[in-house]
């Protein structure tokens, strides 16, 4: 089954404790991206990657890191989480060419609470 898998789905942590949210896709997509979704603010892009070893900042990159060492994986790292990073996080992926270019496939979301 084609899917984007995120882990953990739910996490409560404390300020300053490093955490990583993993994302893996099995569709051989070149493009991967992280979004956060907050009430009243909609979906905002954090980072994206056009392919292995190629990453770039989105609209709200502060406080986050990413890496793309393998095509299928795109982890999101919070080095020192703060309460304002409490949010619902989505990983998404897509092809970059062909008839379905631009169609994003989303993971199920990771709800993060930072105390």
Partner 1 sequence: QKEVEQNSGPLSVPEGAIASLNCTYSDRGSQSFFWYRQYSGKSPELIMFIYSNGDKEDGRFTAQLNKASQYVSLLIRDSQPSDSATYLCAVRNSGYALNFGKGTSLLVTP
113 touches 12 (CB < 8 A): yes
Taking the complex as a whole, how short is the minimal distance between the CB of residue 18 and partner 1, in angstroms?
Answer: 25
Taking the complex as a whole, how short is the minimal distance between the CB of residue 79 and partner 1, in angstroms?
Answer: 23
Residue 18 or 54: the one with the smaller Cβ distance to partner 1 is 54
Buried b (16+ CB within 10 A) or exposed e, 84-110: ebbbebbbbbbbeeeeeeeebbbbebb
Residue 34 or 81: the one with the smaller Cβ distance to partner 1 is 34
Taking the complex as a whole, how short is the minimal distance between the CB of residue 68 and partner 1, in angstroms?
Answer: 14
By CB under 8 A, name the binding residues for partner 1. Answer: 31, 33, 35, 40-45, 48, 50, 58, 90, 96, 101-104, 106-109
């Amino acid at each position: 089954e084609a899917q984007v898998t995120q882990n953990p789905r739910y996490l409560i942590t404390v300020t300053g404790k490093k955490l990583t949210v993993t994302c893996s896709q099995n569709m051989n997509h070149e493009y991967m991206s992280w979004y956060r979704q907050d009430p009243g603010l909609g979906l905002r892009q954090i980072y994206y990657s056009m392919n292995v070893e190629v990453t770039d900042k989105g609209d709200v990159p502060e406080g986050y890191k990413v890496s793309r060492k393998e095509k299928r994986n795109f982890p999101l790292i919070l080095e020192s989480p703060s309460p304002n990073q409490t949010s619902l996080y989505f990983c998404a992926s897509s092809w970059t060419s062909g008839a379905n270019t631009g169609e994003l496939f989303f993971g199920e979301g990771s709800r993060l609470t930072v105390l």
